Amino acid sequence: MKEEASSSAIGSLAKACNPLKEQVREVLSLAGIELDGRRDWDISVKNDAFYGRVLRYGSLGLGESYMDGWWDCRALDEFITRLLRAELDRKRFWNAPLLLDYLAVLLFNRQTKSRAKGSVEHHYGLGNDLYQAMLDGRMVYTAGRWEHASTLDEAQEAKLDFVCCKLGLQSGMTLLDIGCGWGSLAKFSAEGYGASVVGITLSSEQMELAQRLCAGLPIEIRLQDYRDLSGTFDRVASLGMFEHVGTKNYRRFFDIARRSLRPGGLFLLSTIGVNCSDRGTDPWLGKYIFPNSHLPSAAQIGTAIEGLFIIEDWQNWAADYDRTVVAWFQNFHAHWRDLQARYGERFYRMWKYYLMASAGCFRSRKCQDWQILLARD
């Protein structure tokens, strides 16, 4: 009895000494995560200021404190997976800056033409050396198709072949690639299917490298906003770009895609999506990785395409994206010595958090990856 009383007294004293730590411990226990536990998904805290920061700022505080080295975890992707499966992401932590940001999303169009280029350059203009080290040989920055693949290169080639087959590309057809990245789909479809391609991007670095990679092929890479498109094409594709469009622009985006497509043509849209409609984005992701981004829901896409397109096919590749992101991190980590001098250690922790959190989002089924085939009548 004396030992039990002594243990209870020690526990009460610990709570009194650091009540914020105990609050975090209780929240994490809902996800089966322990502070300083022995499992790979448990976290070790190195700075006691972490507890107040994460309780006050939620997702933003969690990510920033990881970047600052205040806590660590052996399996960051599993840690995030467990947080999301326990729906701890639904616990809102409001403060004045976050509230103002949320209201701005509701009231203003944050993906206007004047804002779009800056948002794109924030991420895709970091440096081609980073993406060449991280991605596959073709530089595809969307989910690969792993069904019959054993390497990232094989998975991404299968993804591009899937897109071309779904579109029914044939020699002599014209293809518009909205958000063409480094020209991976343009080059693949021109070389393998005989298509003539126009690709557009808002990243100067992407455009310059894509033009070099696609030199000598019937491909034109433009630095252009989708809202400035003109002309018509046999087929249209957009892989991993729709996440930057924003809810206030969804209808206009699909209207432009339809206008760019000849009657009877097909449009393949590949986008990350979420299960429930929202207008904002994760605060940490929006601040550090994808400013002014937004992940659509099926309802938001369905409303935006109503009367414009016929849905021919809708596939979910969430598990493929999980595996793809893990492969990206393995490449990034393996080449870090070559990147370290330019980017620095805080960037390494930021990029690792981005990639592993992304894997956790797909693994927990909070995020999906949709391949949507649309037809114009």
Q: Per residue in 283-315, pLDDT tens?
A: 999 999 999 899 999 999 999 999 999 999 999
pLDDT above 90 as % of the chain: 83
Q: Which of 291, 279, 138, 120 is nearest to 200 (CA)?
A: 120
**Range of lowest pLDDT (62-71, 86-95, 173-182, 191-200):** 86-95
pLDDT above 70 as % of the chain: 88
Tell me: pLDDT of 2 over 60.
no
Task: Express each pLDDT in 336-363 by its tens digit.
Answer: 999 999 999 999 999 999 999 999 999 9
Task: Express each pLDDT in 5-24 by its tens digit.
Answer: 554 544 454 455 689 999 99
Q: Which residues contact 220 (CB under 8 A, 6 or more apart)?
A: 197, 198, 199
Report the alpha-carbon angle 74-122-230, nearest 5.
130
Name the residue with tokens 């979420």.
274
Tell me: pLDDT of 185 over 80.
yes
Name the residue with tokens 């440096």.
127
Mean pLDDT of 30-43: 96
Tell me: pLDDT of 103 over 70.
no
Tell me: pLDDT of 105 over 70.
no
Phi, psi of 202 (to 5 degrees): -105, 5
Tell me: pLDDT of 107 over 50.
no
pLDDT of 3: 53
**Of 372 and 113, the one with more pLDDT:** 372
Half-sphere exposure of 355 (CA within 13 A, CB side): 24
Using CA atoms, how far apart are residues 272 and 358, in angstroms rounded to an integer?
Answer: 11
Q: How confident is the model at residue 121 (pLDDT cuts 50, 70, 90)?
A: confident
Q: What's the mean per-residue pLDDT of the chain?
A: 91
Query: Boundaries of CATH 3.40.50.150 in the chain?
Result: 107-375
Tokens in use for 216? 């000598």
pLDDT of 280: 75
Pairing of strands 174-178, 71-73: unpaired
Pairing of strands 174-178, 233-239: parallel
Task: List beta partners, residue 174.
Answer: 196
**144, 320 in Cβ contact below 8 A?**
yes
CATH, domain range 107-375: 3.40.50.150
3-class secondary structure, 71? strand
Q: How confident is the model at residue 119 (pLDDT cuts 50, 70, 90)?
A: confident
Tokens in use for 316? 């979910």
Could you tell me where the beta strands, DSSP code E, fall in the chain?
43-45, 71-73, 174-178, 196-201, 219-223, 233-239, 261-274, 310-316, 367-375
